[in-house]
Structure 1
Amino acid sequence: MRAAAGLPAASHVVPHAVDPAPAPAHPAGLRATARLRATHNGRATTVPLLHSDGPFHLRRLRPRGEWARVCVLGAMSAPLGGDRLALDVTAEARTRLEVTAAAATIALRGPTADPATYDVRLTVDEDASLRWLPQPLISTRGSTVHQTYRVELTAGSRLLLREEQLLGRTAEPPGHLSTRLTVRRDGRPILDQHTVYGAPAPAWDGPAVLGDHRATGQFLLVGPGLDAPPAAVLLGDPVRGHCVLAPLADGPALLATAVAPTSARLRRLLDAALARVSGAEIRPGVRPGTPR
């Protein structure tokens, strides 16, 4: 029985490729897809489609200015081994949409050692803005999760996407976590990144990857008007964690990647990197993920 709960390597960039078809769900696993669609009615952004499913309960929040806001709440423990979970979010033309989460997502082994899949699909249409600001994904001992982000943008789309991972709870080794982020702009790939952490991945905790750090994450900022730094910017130090802010080759886009000993320190590094970006209309007025 699933208990009620809250939501939330080696690293390399790989050429764009078509992902293989997902494996079928284990008989003990859960298959669920939640859907969210925002549209503009000529005056403001509205959310006519809000379909909750499985562990995902989608709740409208009070709008803030021109931004419609939705929070993802956890209705049960997930992902567990064998689960096939998906979130499908579309921001139609001219909309302003922010999606947050109430709590971290905790990946657990569950009744089977089969991997769980967690697929997030984000579509941002012309002159639309999406802030995707979830809480961390926590990889616990014995869990196996394959997480994918598939993002489709147009030339006039604006996106702020943040993802964070915490490898193990206090004094606990992590499970096996792989994440893939694929971003296409006007049909052209601008980022295709694959990271893998936890045994049996080789060297994920070596000095060239995480070392002693157990929190890792990044934000991606895409959109017209970005004032990108001419070269990569390094923040932090070896003990308290590092963050690198760098422009992508096929912009306008910026990627900040950080590693840190704790999730709180990771968030501070990402916040500091975001504060260095000017000309970003999509940047929140408060720290990303902070309750409002």
Structure 2
Amino acid sequence: MRATARLLAEADGRGGTALPVLAGDGPLALRRTRGVAGEACVTVVGAMSAPLGGDRIALEVTAGPGARLRVGSAAATIALPGRAAGPAHYEIRLTVADGAALHWLPEPLISAHGSELMMTTRVELAPTARLVLREEQILGRTGESPGRLTSRLTVHRGGRPLLDQELSYGPGAPGWDGGAVLGGHRAVGQLLVVDPSHDAQPLTPRRLAGTAVLVPLTGPAALATAVAPDALQLRRALDEAVTAVG
């Protein structure tokens, strides 16, 4: 399967945010939900099982100048094995213009046994853009070993690199379950906050609940990283990071 869903948010000139483009495709259905205080909210709904082995799906999200957009998902995304040979590919492309704000808060990605997924998230931020991005990955369903998952996140701000990292878990990934990476945990996630106001008040590194840390990045940004035994404890750690960042 090949599918690309697209979403465009624009300031409507009356203090709100319009959605001139809201186009789902294949397994990605996009639904506008109730927003508050001029913010547009969109929920990604899974229209069919995906990603499966061999699939290539993509989601393109653009927040135009001055727009305020919050994107979530109705349920977790489950990477499953498929009939086609080779890994599935899931690409997310986020663009946030000057004066715009994007909250990217999907539910977790679950790497089921026997699956193979290569996931990439690419973010382009204008100098005055704001971003809150959460990623959560659960390695295997209850009582099963995980599939192979490779996840890469790249963020550019004003055309310059802000963050570029790649993580790999599951069969064939060296050392992924050792003490230097997950240490036996099966849930891993991160929260990235980019806000120009942090230029004047940089955050200080701190340890959060459990096995989670919050560190400042070069530029007005902070990154919280956490590992946990399960999805519930992972979400609690990342929610604490939201409070710490403010």
TM surpasses 0.5: yes
Residues in 1 aligned to 2:159 and 2:203: alpha-carbon distance in whole angstroms: 25
What does residue 143 of structure 1 align with? 115
What does residue 85 of structure 1 align with? 57
Percent sequence identity is 58
Structure 2 residue identity aligned to 1:274: V
Is 1:243 the equivalent of 2:212? yes
Contact 2:191 2:241 (8 Å CA) reproduced: no
Structure 2 residue identity aligned to 1:212: G
1:104-183 alignment, distance < 5 Å: 104-183=76-155
Per-residue CA shift, 1:140-194, capped at 9, x if unaligned? 1110000000100011000000010000001100000000000001100010000
Residues in 2 aligned to 1:229 and 1:53: alpha-carbon distance in whole angstroms: 40
SS class of match (1:155)? coil
Is 1:65 the equivalent of 2:34? no
Residues in 2 aligned to 1:97 and 1:235: alpha-carbon distance in whole angstroms: 28
SS class of match (2:155)? strand
Is 1:228 the equivalent of 2:202? yes
Residues in 2 aligned to 1:117 and 1:87: alpha-carbon distance in whole angstroms: 11
Is 1:268 the equivalent of 2:242? no
TM-score of the pair, normalised by structure 1: 0.82
Q: 1:54 aligns with which of 12, 17, 26?
A: 26
Contact 1:228 1:277 (8 Å CA) reproduced: no
Structure 1 residue identity aligned to 2:217: L
Moved over 2 A (4+): 226-230
Residues in 1 aligned to 2:228 and 2:202: alpha-carbon distance in whole angstroms: 24
The CA deviation at 1:236 is: 2.8
Contact 1:96 1:129 (8 Å CA) reproduced: yes
SS class of match (2:197)? coil
The CA deviation at 1:234 is: 1.2
Residues in 1 aligned to 2:96 and 2:65: alpha-carbon distance in whole angstroms: 8
What does residue 253 of structure 1 align with? 221
Contact 2:108 2:137 (8 Å CA) reproduced: yes
The CA deviation at 1:228 is: 3.3
Normalized per residue, the structure richer in strand is 2
The CA deviation at 1:62 is: 1.4
What does residue 290 of structure 1 align with? none
Aligned length: 243
SS class of match (1:271)? helix
Question: Unmatched 5+ residue regions in structure 2?
Answer: none
Contact 1:204 1:210 (8 Å CA) reproduced: yes
Per-residue CA shift, 1:51-97, capped at 9, x if unaligned? 11000000011121111000000000000000000000000000000
Contact 1:113 1:144 (8 Å CA) reproduced: no
Question: Unmatched 5+ residue regions in structure 1?
Answer: 1-29, 279-292
Residues in 2 aligned to 1:273 and 1:186: alpha-carbon distance in whole angstroms: 25
Structure ranking higher on relative contact order (CA contacts 8 Å, 6+ apart): 1
TM-score of the pair, normalised by structure 2: 0.97
